């Protein structure tokens, strides 16, 4: 995304609504989506216009997880593009500079979420509680979609859909796509389920040990995807000292490796076992 004023002129290709237009750049003939209050009001196709300070302009050459940005714009309603733009504006206020190209997959998700809700086909996500904790700040920002949808489309969104919006926001602030963020949340949930099974107790997701485990798994997944390796090997010590936690860690690393289609480095097992032992010890106290 870029913000410009008085530098490049644009020609109107299509007016989507009062607040969104598709433009063609006078330099290079590339297509853009421009959004801002009243930006499309009274505009005529082929007329030239400038971008005002504060308006947002997105390249339609972007390739996203959900396909080409230009194709997404054709299939998504302007109101959902507006909603995604407003959510990202909130995210920018909270996090500073973000990757606004996530607008397209986010708008596409909002579009399908609205259709599901209108058909009373609301989804349930078993990872929602983990997403709330793992991506706490992103989830807080994502909650702004609730009143916006209610006001614009008279649609009530639930916490599960908000969780998915939070993953899109996370993707905009970290070098981590939505599917990778879901893999992290799934790996955390698997860890917690195993520990709960071993201890016979439900884990407190606001505990310090849980948060340490959660962040460790998050970075373990990132290391596995990037090929980064830990230097210190704790496996021999952990296997002898805490055999149950080491066995759980081995199982979890195998599962994560299958999910990511990457081999998790063996050295990761000992570190994960240490965090699992902390969580298990907390629950047994």
Tell me: do 88 and 144 sit in the same domain: yes
Tell me: pLDDT of 157 over 60: yes
Q: Is position 183 within any domain?
A: no
CA distances from 53 to 1, 5, 57 (A): 14, 6, 11
Please report whether residue 181 resides in a domain: no
Highest mean pLDDT, choosing among 21-25, 65-69, 146-150 = 146-150
Provide the pLDDT for residue 199.
73
18 is in which domain, residue-wise? Answer: 1-61
Q: Single out the residue in 150, 174, 198 at which a domain terminates.
A: 174
| Residue 2 is assigned to a structural domain of this protein | yes
**Dist CA 194 CA 201 (whole Å):** 11
Same domain, 153 and 77: yes
Q: Is the per-residue pLDDT at 3 higher than 50?
A: no
- Please answer whether residues 69 and 63 qualify as being in contact, where contact means their C-beta atoms are separated by less than 8 angstroms: yes
Q: Examine the pLDDT at 11 and tell me if it is beyond 60.
A: yes
Residue 17: inside a domain: yes
Q: Which residues contact 86 (CB under 8 A, 6 or more apart)?
A: 144, 148
CATH number for the domain harbouring residue 56: 2.30.24.10
| 212 and 233 belong to one structural domain | yes
Listed residue (179, 18, 204) closest to 102, CA to CA: 179
Percent of the chain with pLDDT over 70: 94
CA distance 182 to 66: 15
Question: For residue 2, what pLDDT is reported?
Answer: 44
Interval 185-212 mean pLDDT: 79
| Secondary structure (3-state) at 2 | strand
| 243 or 283, higher pLDDT | 243
Put residue 54 in one of left, alpha, beta given phi > 0 → left and psi -120 to 50 → alpha.
left
Residue 104 CA to residue 61 CA, distance in Å, equals 11
Task: Taking each helix axis as running N to C, give the angle between helix 78-95 and helix 103-118, from 0 to 180 degrees, rounded to the nearest 10.
Answer: 120
Q: What is the pTM of this model?
A: 0.79
> Domain count of the chain?
3
Domain-located, residue 180: no
What would the two tokens of residue 254 be?
């195998």
What is the radius of gyration, based on Cα positions, of the chain?
23
Residue 144's SS3 state is coil
> Do 155 and 249 share a structural domain?
no
Phi/psi of residue 122, each to 5°?
-60, 140
Angstrom distance (rounded) from CA 4 to CA 50: 8
Query: Tens digits of per-residue pLDDT, 115-139?
Result: 999 998 877 888 898 888 888 999 9
79 and 46 within one domain: no
- Asked if residue 236 belongs to a domain, the reply is yes
Same domain, 196 and 264: yes
In the prediction, which pLDDT does 1 show? 44
151 plus 67 within the same structural domain: yes
Positions of E strands within the chain = 10-17, 20-25, 31-35, 48-49, 56-59, 63-64, 67-68
User: From the CB of residue 108, how many other CB atoms can be counted at a distance below 10 Å?
Assistant: 24
Q: Is residue 90 part of a domain?
A: yes
The rounded mean pLDDT for the chain is 86
Q: Is the pLDDT confidence value at 170 over 80?
A: yes
Is residue 83 domain-shared with residue 46, that is, in the same domain? no
């Amino acid at each position: 995304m870029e913000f410009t004023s008085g530098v490049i002129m644009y020609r109107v290709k299509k007016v989507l609504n009062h607040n969104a237009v598709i433009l063609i750049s006078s330099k290079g003939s590339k297509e853009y989506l421009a959004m801002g209050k009243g930006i499309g009001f009274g505009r005529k196709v082929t007329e030239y216009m400038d971008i005002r300070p504060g308006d947002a302009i997105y390249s339609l050459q972007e390739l996203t997880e959900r396909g080409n940005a230009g194709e997404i714009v054709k299939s998504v309603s302007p109101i959902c593009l507006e909603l995604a733009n407003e959510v990202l504006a909130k995210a920018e206020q909270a996090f500073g500079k973000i990757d606004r190209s996530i607008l397209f997959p986010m708008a596409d998700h909002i579009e399908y979420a609205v259709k599901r809700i209108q058909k009373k086909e609301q989804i349930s996500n078993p990872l929602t509680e983990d997403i709330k904790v793992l991506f706490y700040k992103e989830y807080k920002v994502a909650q702004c979609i609730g009143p916006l949808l209610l006001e614009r489309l008279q649609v009530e969104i639930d916490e599960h859909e908000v969780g998915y919006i939070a993953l899109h926001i996370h993707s905009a602030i970290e070098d981590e796509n939505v599917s990778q963020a879901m893999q992290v949340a799934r790996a955390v949930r698997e860890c917690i389920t195993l520990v709960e099974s071993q201890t016979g107790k439900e884990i407190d997701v606001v505990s310090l040990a849980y948060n340490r485990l959660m962040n460790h798994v998050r970075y373990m997944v990132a290391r596995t995807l990037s090929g980064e390796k830990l230097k210190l090997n704790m496996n021999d010590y952990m296997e002898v000292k805490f055999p149950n936690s080491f066995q759980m860690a081995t199982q979890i690393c195998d599962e994560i490796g299958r999910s990511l289609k990457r081999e998790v480095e063996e050295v990761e097992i000992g570190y994960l076992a240490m965090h699992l032992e902390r969580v298990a010890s907390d629950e047994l106290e």
